[in-house]
Chain A
Amino acid sequence: MPEGVEQADRSDLGMVVSGSLSEGLEVRLNAETSVEDMAVGRYVVIEGAQRRFFAMVTDVRLGAASPQLAASPPDVSDPFVAEVLTGTGIYGTLALQPMLTLADGDAGPQPVKTVPTHYSRVREANEEDVSLVFGAEDETHYYIGQPLDMDTPVCVDLKRLVERSSGVFGKSGTGKTFLTRLLLIGIVQREIAVNLVFDMHSEYGWAGTSEGSGRFVKGLKQMFPARIAIFTLDPESSLNRGAHPDHVVEIGYDQVEPDDIAMLREALGMTEAQIESIIRIARKYGDNKWLRRFLELEGDERDALATELGLNPGTLMVLHRKMQTRLARLSFMKEQAAGNSVQAILDCLQRGIHVVLEFGRHRSLDAYILVANILTRRIHERYVEAVELAMGNRVKEPRPLVITIEEAHKFLNPRVADFTIFGTIAREMRKFNVTLLVVDQRPSSIADEIMSQIGTRITCLLDNEHDINAVLTGISGAQSLRGVLARLDSKQQALLLGHAVPMPVVIRTRDYGTPESYAAFQQFAEAAGLHRQALRSLRDLYDER
């Protein structure tokens, strides 16, 4: 065959010319392959001599065979000269990060421990390669999107996802909420865990909005009416949106503990002195009674209290006003809460019903932080009790619980992560069957030590250096993915990495909001439901799954 004439294999991209395991591989592109057709994040396959490697494109570069070609460029406006030089004097190169490898006789793809030989051919991944690595949909694998430029499903292992805390990150408007909703649907469909969602912007339970055309997309309750309970802090708003809340949540003064207020330090602009005062006051009246008692105090009673506790009367006055106007004024705050919301939530969770708590018009961060913190602390307590009870006994452990929080850095930043319940949950991993699904646009604000516990990271576009660093630290080989992360599309693209996927991969997030998309979700749920019912009728109904 004449030299220079390549095989007509159109998926062939080029060959490996240099590289290392730690720094990735350099691939020289065929003359026929234009760098402009390449994209970071693309998934490619290297056919080594003895094994196949699965890799991701992490950079695309221009090469010149001699410095002169770059320094005094020939006249490439002449198409003949340009064509001659392409692929010889000037050429494209890819930087690849090999992630997995497969040799004959391997049970499945294995982590890479070496690199392919010189001049190994590199080709585009095909459907078979994708499904080999990312599996097909089943009891735990859930179709979340497709690789760039491909239509084959990429699946996440939801069982592994909920085993540790996980995170969905990305700038505002990049698709975090849509992705999170997709994950929740998968968890509901497969009964992998029960969800408790703190739905700050009322997007998950009932009818989320879609920017695209200002239209609405279905919420979880519309998809799975019998499996979801909507709790609300603002019944009026829920009803206005057509959601019929199952339970109205009220928070009693007695439920607010000093730590809950400490969490609000930033949201309420509290000083150290104010926090310290609350701690002293609570010590006097008790953690459950301090707020009610403090709010009841008149001016001179407060001064007396200040004297008694050795506090500044001015500080107490400001604090009083703050509690009055910022807390007591919230419509769900009651001196005495009607019903026990915590118990109601736990009842649902125990029955495998997922709970979405809508905040309605309470969109302020203080309301969100306060409520999420108070409820989560109590639910966690009960989980700890239940798990401890189950240990040694033959009592069933509680179902794994996934708590979804948006604006997660408010709960997990280095200043509060040490003493918030969310910090505790992230650190203790799944010891008590509770993990977090954190959604955040500023991952760099989350304490490093918490970030390191986030096993699966699903990341939409980030452009801040610190945020990119935060998401990539602690994951091996991830540094080469920085360029990938910074160049995702601004919508509906995400980099998946960590515990729930065998190798990092960039996806186009599965479409959500079309009639076909709803139908697909429901079909799967029905099929899976029937299957499980059949299994259950064989086993003890109350046996652990």
Chain B
Amino acid sequence: MPDTGRVGEIVEVAAAEYLAQSYALHAAPAIGTFVRTGHEGVDVIGVVAGSRTAGVDPSRRPIARGEDEDDEDALYRHNPELPELLRTEFAVRLVGFGRAGRYSYFLPPVAPRLHGFVYRCLDDEVIALTEQLTFLRTLLQPGLSWGAPPDELVGATIRAADRARGGDRAFRIRAGKVLVGALLNDVPRLEALLRSFQQLSESVDSSRDHL
């Protein structure tokens, strides 16, 4: 499959978030990754809020199989059916939508469709998307129970946007300033959050390697 940036397919949709299944096991985009889906020329933009891997059949819980194996890879090699029984899903919180590169930062008028393809945003898109940062405040609200805690999500999102810029201190400062207003009454939390993105971070994205 050529690298179109496609990372998964929507399997569950709610008002402000959707769940997508990753095409490869354990290859969900990292938290904070900007992703796009949509049809009829409307891009629905979201941020990956977390991922999980579990059995395909919710009634059958995975069991331990590797007691006699030397390493984990051997375990997967000796149980080739595993990728069929397991699946990796990731949750995406919607931040806005856009048409031809012009973005609005509220929920799209039309919800994404089930089985919609999910693509990773290109750096240029991320840069354009994050010229406006008010959506960070939305992300500070709690989301899915198994998603990353809001502060982790916001920190990761800012780091991802910063990486797209090749590291830009002015951008990080600007992002920090947006958060100050929201976290005025919890200074230690604000401080911890600021520290999580004050430096240009290395990419830790796992999904790329698997595609």
State the CA gap A69–B181 with chains docked (Å): 12
State the CA gap A84–B174 with chains docked (Å): 7
Q: Chain B residues with Cβ under 8 A from A88's Cβ?
A: 177, 180-181
- The residue from A5, A66, A74 contacting B185, defined by CB atoms under 8 A apart: A66
The number of residues on chain A lying at the interface, defined by a beta carbon within 8 Å of a beta carbon of chain B, is 22
Which chain B residue lies CB-closest to A71?
B187
Q: Chain A residues with Cβ under 8 A from B178's Cβ?
A: 3-4
Q: A75 contacts B191, CB within 8 Å?
A: yes
Q: A2 contacts B173, CB within 8 Å?
A: no
B176 interface hit (Cβ, 8 Å):
yes
State the CA gap A66–B185 with chains docked (Å): 7
Min CB gap B157→A, angstroms: 16
State the CA gap A88–B169 with chains docked (Å): 17
A68 interface hit (Cβ, 8 Å):
yes
Q: Chain B residues with Cβ under 8 A from A89's Cβ?
A: 180, 184, 190
- The residue from A5, A66, A81 contacting B174, defined by CB atoms under 8 A apart: A5
A511 interface hit (Cβ, 8 Å):
no
Q: B194 contacts A80, CB within 8 Å?
A: yes
Given the contacts A81-B191, A81-B194, A84-B180, A4 and B185 also touching, CB distance less than 8 Å: no
Q: Chain A residues with Cβ under 8 A from B179's Cβ?
A: 84
Q: B174 contacts A80, CB within 8 Å?
A: no
Q: A80 contacts B198, CB within 8 Å?
A: yes
Q: B180 contacts A81, CB within 8 Å?
A: no
Q: Chain A residues with Cβ under 8 A from B186's Cβ?
A: 68
Q: A80 contacts B176, CB within 8 Å?
A: yes
B93 interface hit (Cβ, 8 Å):
no
B36 interface hit (Cβ, 8 Å):
no
Q: B173 contacts A83, CB within 8 Å?
A: yes
* Majority-rule SS of B interface residues: helix
**Binary CB contact string for chain A from 297 to 313 against chain B (1 if under 8 A, 0 otherwise):** 00000000000000000
- Residues of A64-94 contacting chain B, CB below 8 A: 65-66, 68-69, 72-75, 78, 80-81, 83-85, 87-89
Q: A65 contacts B184, CB within 8 Å?
A: yes
- Residues of B173-211 contacting chain A, CB below 8 A: 173-174, 176-181, 184-188, 190-191, 194-195, 198
B172 interface hit (Cβ, 8 Å):
yes
- Residues of B48-101 contacting chain A, CB below 8 A: none
* Majority-rule SS of A interface residues: loop
Q: Chain B residues with Cβ under 8 A from A69's Cβ?
A: 184, 187
B107 interface hit (Cβ, 8 Å):
no
State the CA gap A72–B190 with chains docked (Å): 12
Which chain B residue lies CB-closest to A90?
B180
Q: Chain A residues with Cβ under 8 A from B140's Cβ?
A: none
- Residues of A129-158 contacting chain B, CB below 8 A: none
Min CB gap B134→A, angstroms: 8
State the CA gap A72–B194 with chains docked (Å): 16
- The residue from B132, B177, B185 contacting A84, defined by CB atoms under 8 A apart: B177
B124 interface hit (Cβ, 8 Å):
no
- The residue from B176, B184, B198 contacting A68, defined by CB atoms under 8 A apart: B184
B13 interface hit (Cβ, 8 Å):
no
Q: B174 contacts A68, CB within 8 Å?
A: no
- Residues of A293-335 contacting chain B, CB below 8 A: none
B16 interface hit (Cβ, 8 Å):
no
- The residue from A74, A78, A80, A87 contacting B190, defined by CB atoms under 8 A apart: A74
B42 interface hit (Cβ, 8 Å):
no
State the CA gap A68–B186 with chains docked (Å): 8
Q: Chain A residues with Cβ under 8 A from B190's Cβ?
A: 74, 89
Which chain B residue lies CB-closest to A86?
B177
Given the contacts A69-B187, A74-B187, A83-B173, A2 and B131 also touching, CB distance less than 8 Å: yes
Which chain B residue lies CB-closest to A68?
B187
Q: A65 contacts B180, CB within 8 Å?
A: yes
State the CA gap A89–B180 with chains docked (Å): 6
B133 interface hit (Cβ, 8 Å):
yes
Min CB gap A392→B, angstroms: 75
Given the contacts A65-B180, A65-B181, A87-B177, A80 and B172 also touching, CB distance less than 8 Å: yes
Q: A81 contacts B198, CB within 8 Å?
A: yes
Min CB gap A383→B, angstroms: 68
Which of A78, A80, A84, A87 is most buried by chain B, counting CB atoms within 10 A of its CB? Answer: A84
Q: A4 contacts B172, CB within 8 Å?
A: no
State the CA gap A3–B135 with chains docked (Å): 13
State the CA gap A75–B195 with chains docked (Å): 11
**Binary CB contact string for chain B from 125 to 139 against chain A (1 if under 8 A, 0 otherwise):** 000000111100000
Q: Chain A residues with Cβ under 8 A from B174's Cβ?
A: 2-5
State the CA gap A65–B186 with chains docked (Å): 12
Which chain B residue lies CB-closest to A87?
B177
State the CA gap A66–B133 with chains docked (Å): 22
What are 26 A-B contacts defined by CB distance under 8 Å?
A3-B134, A4-B174, A65-B180, A68-B185, A68-B186, A68-B187, A72-B187, A74-B187, A75-B191, A78-B198, A80-B169, A80-B172, A80-B173, A80-B176, A80-B198, A81-B198, A83-B176, A84-B173, A84-B176, A84-B179, A84-B180, A88-B180, A88-B181, A89-B180, A89-B184, A89-B190
Besides A3-B133, A81-B176, 10 new A-B residue pairs in contact (Cβ under 8 A), listed by A number: A3-B178, A4-B174, A5-B174, A68-B185, A74-B190, A80-B172, A80-B198, A83-B173, A83-B176, A84-B173
